[in-house]
Structure 1
């Protein structure tokens, strides 16, 4: 196992087999293998070299988690280009500042980032437009162990951004010890392969990189990326994709606990039911004890699926009570400790030897000691040599080769490390006693009615020592003073809270990626007397910023109406998904569709997962049974034997453009002008057999209104309409396409699943049949589907079918018809109206 530089690790990764990355962007799921990632990385490296980038140049990656992020990362390293990752929820101003500091040669931009301005003349490139089919051989570049691999910047909200310089040596010092340990147990994991990791940590964070780019390949594992932090979506992903390990910040475990307490009755018994295990060896007793917990809490495990067994948490402190709660349910909670400056791991709990409350032992090659003031110091090859172009900052961080972590902690006699809190956040009382905010917050969060809390030290008006202040997020009707009194009754004298404040927003300010509390922001707010401050960005500000982004404006008023903003129904769907991601809420589409102002949107977001579905939207009932084995078999037999031959009795068909279909290797969208109910069978006749039986046509849901809304129709009308619906779904693999906004998101999700299953989708973008053969304007939905789902569109023109079965006729007549296929269109961008016009023109030109 040769590991001189990270390139050696990449060569092993690229030679591996099987799936590597699964990406669910809320609309479609894409899967890429190790071989595909390796090939695309080499091709991207070759493109960088061809563009004139050389060793030592910097490329900024400003993107959400996605497979292309990993490709770009490895592509840069292959030619010695330094990666500068930035969290995709950082401000565009921060991006511009960092790009200027490092003199970036290229900025790679993701799909879910705010609009970026002010980067010129630095070129930008849309990361999601990376061509996975591209090939190329990068030039040979000599890479050595001490070459810089990446520079990671802190947020720099109140000061200049500070860049941590990370070399190949630093990262290898982290992953080689872990790899050595993993290989000891790899053979035992074979029956459970492939191990799937749902990674919710940002790739711009070092621990997120380690748990996506480095550690899963050691186990030939699969990494899953998803959008947002909604607990229902997270558990669905874990269960549906048979995930074994969730990688996240501790806050996610807290959110999931709240969800489990609502969704699984036995979760309320965590820690109360004894499962002693069988008598015998320690291993036998431990295994049977865990099995007992699984069985008793099987409704909780049913939420996550049978394969799920562990949480890996990092990037922020984990509350010991929260760790115990999940452990009592039979899940392993594995936490580590590290910093960006340590690339990132310092300590790590062994999966088969965790100790509650501990962040584990130092990994091989890392030295640790505790200074006289309790601060943890670290030394080893994993530690950075300093900050980018910041000699003074580097000198302050090191002392005799030891790095000052800024964390207060203890090291037990067996090497287990326990973190108490951040040195700079520790409160020193007038008596000279130390108060760790996390200790007080733990007591506050246990008081009924407290949703979250932040404890900060603020000096009295005359200066001097700090006093303990608590800022609380409360349920409606809960009194701040009552909460403080109850908490103080449980706290030691030096920990007692002097003042309490109610935070004016539903959530405390936290960093976007790692969900760390922005304690400095809270402290400034308390110093101002709890008055609303422009430094505080709560739900209102964040929501207004998102609405402004999708409305194409610099700012919006809370009283602005949706009509005033000019948001189309498709833009509102994208806004809804973005709001769910930003606030971790699952929003009901019916209620969202009924919103009329920005204030309405704020109320919907604040209700979030607690709000019951309104019922205002159309019911969504997409057929999946028609892609089952029996249905597929029946359709495969019926189409060529009697359905299509019956259609040929009425149609003398001429087909053109089949040469455009020969190169199709993956599912596409067939965009067809709409003339008649005969359109679908005639297009199927025209398609070559290899494509004909892998098509799913969209049919207007409104045509089957009696099926979906039986209470509005007679029993006979419902029966007839439902029969037509099921026959169309069975024999043509058709599915309903809602015309109203409330069903748009589910429709996109379903179409994405159909494409993922290997079926092309046939859509009529006009939304209605022709009167006299004319082509009506195409609706913007075809542009959104093609762009958001990243699927080629094949324009198709049909002619003559309105004279064979006009929409006003009950019976067909015989006659000639023509079907013409055009060259596939690859559409991108978010101007869906323009994309639809492009497809429409391509159809008209046939």
Structure 2
């Protein structure tokens, strides 16, 4: 184990940070984009910045029992602000920068946040527009830009740091020493796929457990380089933050999704966490590229993929591959897979996939290429990390065994129940919802799953999202949607519909980048309204759906589909901020289209 979590006396995240600074003060901690390129901070330098900012917050009245919010994308200042807030004894409330002004107002009022870190003037304007709804917010701290004119409600990050430099350093140590493990550390509001968002209360001990569990699996090492792009407003990103402090893992921070590939090629990281959509995008880009090139390159890719899949399957099952397969794989690796690994810097030790189910087809392909994906599972209510696939027992389609210290049980109706130190203390101000979610210490996840003979968990669907056809048959739409996205390289999102209907249909959206390349190669317009009815494009998607249908029971098969002109969006409420599908919202938005499948308005395929 590389971490310092086992050292005596660590009772909080700020305490963990101080232990890390004592252990490796001069090692690189954070790397970030500055005015002239990548800059970095050592652990000691990180500690100085956190201390100054925390002292400034203490001078503003933040401290024990209070909360502060961060309304920003992922950047190094997010991490520094979070650690500084925690060091005062306060708790951090996370808010997605994509949230509307009214959504921000709800979270700020419900959490009782006294201070808000706002990324830029756009976020400040959002807060000003709802100021009368957030009377408890005493200060807004803007990260980029000046405070503007008018009043002193808004100050800059530099202003707070300057306040901190005028304070006695001992105040920081006293505040950190007073933090107990049961103190509230983080408030994360659930995405609210239905109804009111709920504030999940996570304590310092919840996060220290995550640090311990991750450390026992040797996931984050001092000699790794971790690329952090995950939304820090999401629990997945927060779990990674704690793990990298414990592991002393240098972390490059850049929240720009469109720079992930370029950053990987430039930085050559060894560890990266992502949602399945990122891996789907990579896979579909590779597939679309070789299909467009056709000829020898396409045949070579298909041959290498088949060889790689068989070779990887032997490795996962612990059986030796025959000599002829080993020789073919060596050639396939040299001609195809090594080039793919080079696109990601050539040093990736593993990826972690979380926040949604990973298609087995995607996982198997990456594994064949020597880019291992370890799928994890957890909820905001369980501090993100409850299960993780171990490298020596990968089985795509199954997540893995529980982390050490986490218990799992499958209820009679198939619901996955979790117990352990990672489980939240409750929902803020909602005792009835807390009691419903936590029964005798067991967290009701709302997910349907099963355990295999080795204790690995397989999630089949959301309890409330299972489709029951008019014939009484159950269908798990998430699994089919994942298969469609893996089989159709031009599909960005898919929704399978069929509850109380006599057959299943699908709505699919297109990946604009990949479809633009496809259209350009054929001299076609890139306008989605012109492309969606294109017979050749429709045939390509139909081919993928046919392949998926061949793996399904008859009642699960997709009998018809429609291509939408635009993707699902967070702004229209069709996706949560963490990009999960809000099924009921999408179905309502496209109610007439879906009804048409069953009314004979759209031709069955």
Question: TM-score scaled to structure 2, two decimals?
Answer: 0.77
Q: Which runs of 5 or more residues in structure 1 are unaligned?
A: 532-846
Give 1:267 shift. Answer: 5.2
CA distance in 1, matches of 2:563, 2:385: 36
Work out the CA distance in 1 between the residues paired with 2:458 and 2:122.
37
Does residue 14 in structure 1 map to residue 75 in structure 2?
Answer: no
1:66-119 deviations in Å (ceiling 9; x for gaps): 111111111111121111011222222211111111221111111385431223
CA distance in 2, matches of 1:73, 1:449: 38
For the pair shown, the structure with the greater C-alpha radius of gyration is 1
Match of 2:33 in 1: 24
Secondary structure of residue in 2 paired with 1:529: helix
Within 1, Cα distance between the matches of 2:456 and 2:194?
A: 35
Paired residue for 2:542? 483
2:249 is aligned with 1:218: no
Take 2:285 and 2:490, find their aligned partners in 1: how far apart are those partners? 16
5+ residue gaps, structure 2, are 1-6, 145-155, 291-296, 516-530, 596-605
Shift of 1:332: 1.0
Aligned with residue 334 of structure 2, among 283, 295, 309? 295
Of 554, 569, 573, the residue aligned with 1:493 is 554
Structure-1 residue corresponding to 2:157: 130
Aligned residue number for residue 71 of structure 2 = 62
Map of 2:602 onto structure 1: none
Contact 2:587 2:594 in 1 (8 A): no
| Deviation digits for residues 277-318 of structure 1 (CA, Å, limit 9, x no counterpart) | 999xx79989x8997764342221221222223211111111
Per-residue deviation, residues 599-635 of structure 1 (Å, max 9, x unmatched) = xxxxxxxxxxxxxxxxxxxxxxxxxxxxxxxxxxxxx
Native 8 Å contact 1:65 1:225 kept in 2: yes
Residue 276 (structure 2) pairs with residue 247 (structure 1): no
Q: Which residue of 1 aligns with 2:150?
A: none
CA 1:466 to 1:516, structure 2 compared with 1: closer, same or farther past 3 Å? farther
2:376 and 2:387 in contact (8 A); partners too: yes
CA shift, 1:371, in A, is 0.8
Counterpart check, 1:150 vs 2:214: no
Match of 1:273 in 2: 307
Q: Secondary structure at the match of 1:345?
A: coil
Q: Distance in 1 between matches of 2:122 and 2:399?
A: 33
Superposed CA deviations along residues 226-280 of structure 1, whole A, max 9, x for unmatched, are 24323xx32221121121122111100111123334567565545322586999x
- After superposition, what is the alpha-carbon deviation per residue over 1:785-815, rounded to whole angstroms, capped at 9, x for unaligned? xxxxxxxxxxxxxxxxxxxxxxxxxxxxxxx
- Contact kept? 2:417, 2:444, Cα under 8 Å: yes
Aligned: 1:236 with 2:262 = yes
Task: Return 45-54 or 257-266, whichever deviates more.
Answer: 257-266
Any conservation in 1 of the 2:379–2:385 contact (CA below 8 Å)?
A: yes
CA–CA distance in 1 between the matches of 2:40 and 2:320? 39
Provide the residue aligned with 1:40 in structure 2.
Answer: 49
Q: Is the 8 A contact 2:188 2:199 kept in 1?
A: yes
In the TM superposition, residue 530 of structure 1 has moved relative to its aligned partner by 5.6
For 1:410-489, list aligned pairs within 5 A: 410-445=450-485, 451-457=491-497, 468-473=504-509, 476=531, 477-478=534-535, 483=542, 486=546
Equivalents in 2 of 1:161, 1:513: separation in Å? Answer: 12
Does the 8 A contact of 2:200 with 2:428 survive in 1? yes
Q: What are the Cα deviations for residues 397-452 of structure 1, in whole angstroms up to 9, with x where unaligned?
A: 12232111011111112111111121111101233221011333245446658514
Matches within 5 A, 1:323-402: 323-402=363-442
Superposed, which structure 2 residues align to 1:283-322 within 5 Å? Answer: 294-296=333-335, 297-322=337-362
Distance across 2 between alignment mates of 1:372 and 1:523: 29
Is the Cα contact below 8 Å between 1:82 and 1:150 reproduced in 2? yes
- Report if the CA contact (8 A) 1:41-1:71 is conserved: yes
Q: Does residue 74 of the first structure (1) align with residue 87 of the second (2)?
A: no
Contact 1:57 1:82 survives alignment (8 Å): yes
Higher-RCO chain (CA-CA 8 Å, sequence separation at least 6): 2
Q: Report if aligned partners of 1:397, 1:404 keep a CA contact under 8 Å in 2.
A: yes
Separation of aligned partners in 2, 1:170 and 1:46:
25
How far apart, in 2, do the equivalents of 1:67 and 1:147 lie? Answer: 25
The total of aligned residue pairs comes to 515
Residues 46 and 285 of structure 1: CA distance in aligned 2, closer, same or farther (over 3 Å):
farther
> Which secondary structure does the structure 2 equivalent of 1:500 belong to?
strand
* 1:205 matches 2:234: yes
Change in 2 beyond 3 A, CA 1:263/1:446? closer
- Which whole-Å CA distance do the structure 2 matches of 1:436 and 1:322 have between them? 19
Instruction: For 2:73 and 2:307, locate their aligned partners in 1 and report how far apart those are by CA, in whole Å.
Output: 42
* Deviation >6 Å, runs of 4+: 282-286, 288-293, 479-482
Once the two structures are overlaid, the 10-residue window that deviates more, 497-506 or 160-169, is 497-506
Tell me how far apart the structure 2 counterparts of residues 228 and 217 of structure 1 sit (CA, whole Å): 22
Q: Secondary structure at the match of 1:439?
A: helix
Q: Deviations over 1:630-684 (max 9, x none)?
A: xxxxxxxxxxxxxxxxxxxxxxxxxxxxxxxxxxxxxxxxxxxxxxxxxxxxxxx
Seen in structure 2, the aligned counterparts of structure 1 residues 494 and 276 have a Cα distance that, compared at 3 Å, is closer
